[in-house]
Amino acid sequence: MAKTVKRMTKAYEGLDREKLHTIEEAVAFLKERSAVKFDETIEVAMNLGVDPRHADQMVRGMVSLPHGTGKTLRVAVFARGPKADEAKAAGADIVGDEDLMEKVQKGEIDFDRVIATPDMMGVVGRLGKILGPKGMMPNPKLGTVTMDVKGAVQAAKAGQIEFRVEKAGIIHGGVGKLSFDQKKLTENVKSFISAVTKAKPTGSKGTYIKRISLTSTMGPGLRIDVASLSE
């Protein structure tokens, strides 16, 4: 405990928590202050002026980070025949139909993303109560229900991540590892923020992006100057 307190004290030393930073400044600060032995994840949190309880204020989408996440994503694909072969060739970790459905029903969920061809949704639909709460249910609007199985699998493996606003109006996502160089991390952060900005729902009134913060797994949270993003 003493080591943890000392490390956190050092991380926050001289930090004005109310100061607004550019993305470049925040990334540089987090890289400089890291004091742990593992490769931390850089995370973005955005406080939005929406109420996701209303359908016209829901914010959800996918973004392909230019430099990936630094994390190995396990992809499961529900497909048959040639499309199943296409999924395997594209690098899918698990491919199946009813057999895969049965594994999921037994609680064998050793994957992070689910993709399905349209003809398999009758099977996948039975897993709604299991995959839904985990945010893994395939959705045509997100490109995870598609005949382009190859493209969907490759995008997922290349660093495509999903974002979805929570009840409190907050969206967060891991956008890379602290070991990435300054430029790559900055570009990933900007890509994430840009995707959320473009996903502004029709029902959003007033200020859409209220606050943005950047942090690392064990590092301090830094406020980002929203106004600087439009410069």
Structural domains of the chain sorted by starting position, each given as residue range(s) with its CATH number in brackets: 16-68+161-230 (3.30.190.20), 75-158 (3.40.50.790)
* Tokens, residue 98: 């009813």
As a whole number of Å, the CA-based R_g of the chain is 20
CA separation for the pair 22, 207 (Å, rounded): 20
Tell me what the mean pLDDT of segment 183-212 comes to.
Answer: 94
* Tokens, residue 56: 């016209």
Reference 199, options 40, 84, 36, 62; nearest CA is: 62
Mean pLDDT of the chain: 90
In angstroms, how far is the first alpha carbon of the chain from the final one?
43
Tell me what the mean pLDDT of segment 40-64 comes to.
Answer: 93
Contact 40, 178 (CB under 8 A): yes
Tens-digit pLDDT profile for residues 133-187: 998 999 998 999 999 999 999 999 988 998 999 989 999 999 999 999 999 999 9
Please say if the pLDDT value at position 122 is more than 70.
yes
Q: Does residue 107 come out as left (phi exceeding 0), alpha (psi in the -120 to 50 range) or beta?
A: left
Q: How confident is the model at residue 218 (pLDDT cuts 50, 70, 90)?
A: confident
- CA–CA distance from 181 to each of 70, 177, 186, 229 (Å)? 12, 9, 9, 20
Output the pLDDT for position 25. Answer: 94
